[in-house]
Amino acid sequence: MPWVRRLCHPRPDEEVDKDRKHAVDAAIVRIMKSRKTLSHSDLMGEVITQLQRAFHPDVKVIKKSIEGLIDREYIERDSSKTQTYKYIA
């Protein structure tokens, strides 16, 4: 009954993507919590470095995660420097 399994459980690819998105969010928050202020390029480099042991994160996913964290008010853009992010405690 493979068709029943498909109806009841999400596809493994969707689960992996969801887990990776959570890992990217967590890495960004960890990095920003320790650094407080960081430029966009430095943040991207740190996230890629931190996650490359587990998987190779896609740059688009990282950018979407940054925007999501800004919307959820974990981080904010620096008003004087648009390419800089600040951690909100």
Higher pLDDT, 60 or 9: 60
Partners of 75 in beta bridges: 87
User: What is the pTM assigned to this prediction?
Assistant: 0.84
CA 76 to CA 73: how far, in whole Å?
7
Report residue 40 as tokens: 């966009």
Buried b (16+ CB within 10 A) or exposed e, 1-27: eeeeeeeeeeeeeeeeeeebbebbbeb
Read off the CATH number of the domain in which 35 is found: 1.10.10.10
Report residue 35 as tokens: 């650094």
| pLDDT at res. 23 | 96
Domain tally, the chain: 1
Range of the domain at 30: 2-87
Q: Is the pLDDT of residue 3 over 60?
A: no
CA 15 to CA 13: how far, in whole Å?
5
pLDDT tens digits for range 29-61: 999 999 999 999 999 999 999 999 999 999 999
| pLDDT at res. 54 | 93
Q: Is the pLDDT of residue 25 over 70?
A: yes
